[in-house]
Amino acid sequence: MRHKTLTFQERRNAIGAAALKLFSEFGYAAVSNKDLGKAAGVNPALIYYYFKDKDDLFQFAVRMALTDVVAAYEKLRRERKSMGGLEAWLSSNLLLSPELSGFLKVVLDYSYSNRKSLLTEGAIKQFYVTEVEILASALSQKPGISAQRAVKLARLISVLLDGVMAARVVRPEIDAQQIVESLQELLAAGSH
């Protein structure tokens, strides 16, 4: 049986996905190149062919995760045209909640480290700007919610979603679905 030869970018993405999983499970410092190579199915020395160093790989994995979350939201919006922007964003967060919880762990690890990158900082900022824009746009469509109030609510929901994802890590009994449904009920009641 022949295996498909991956392109440079496909291999880079596969290594990035494996790294993100390991970083979210064990933290940046605990993951070795040997671990990364094994998880990605490559010789650990080859990682340096695809990435300058472990920091470059870490930053790539963070940017890749951010891109994946926004892509999942866009896909959900296309597939379920009847779903509004708010519902699609909340649903995509639920669908990806294990990944988002892991991603949040990685971003926190990054934020507390001394490893800084303008590209990674920009990607994180862009993720939250995009999230607030999506939420504010959807909220401003609801009766009685001004554009200014929509932005304030969007920021609050963004922080709440991060809190739900963080709580899932510490308190696995948290039912993210139930919390999001309660949030939707509150927003529906507040717009009447």
* Residues 59, 100, 75, 190, Cα dihedral to 10°: -130
Residues in the chain: 192
Domains of the chain: 8-190 (1.10.357.10)
pLDDT at 156: 92
Decide: 106 and 24 in contact? Cβ < 8 Å: yes
pLDDT at 81: 63
In this structure, what token pair is assigned to residue 10?
Answer: 């496909």
The reported pTM is 0.74
pLDDT at 149: 92
What residues of the chain score a pLDDT lower than 70?
1-3, 80-85, 190-192
DSSP string, 96-159: THHHHHHHHHHHHHHHHSS---HHHHHHHHHHHHHHHHHHHHHHHTSTT--HHHHHHHHHHHHH
pLDDT at 19: 92
pLDDT at 2: 55
pLDDT at 105: 83
Q: Quick: pLDDT tens for 2-30.
A: 557 889 999 999 999 999 899 888 888 88
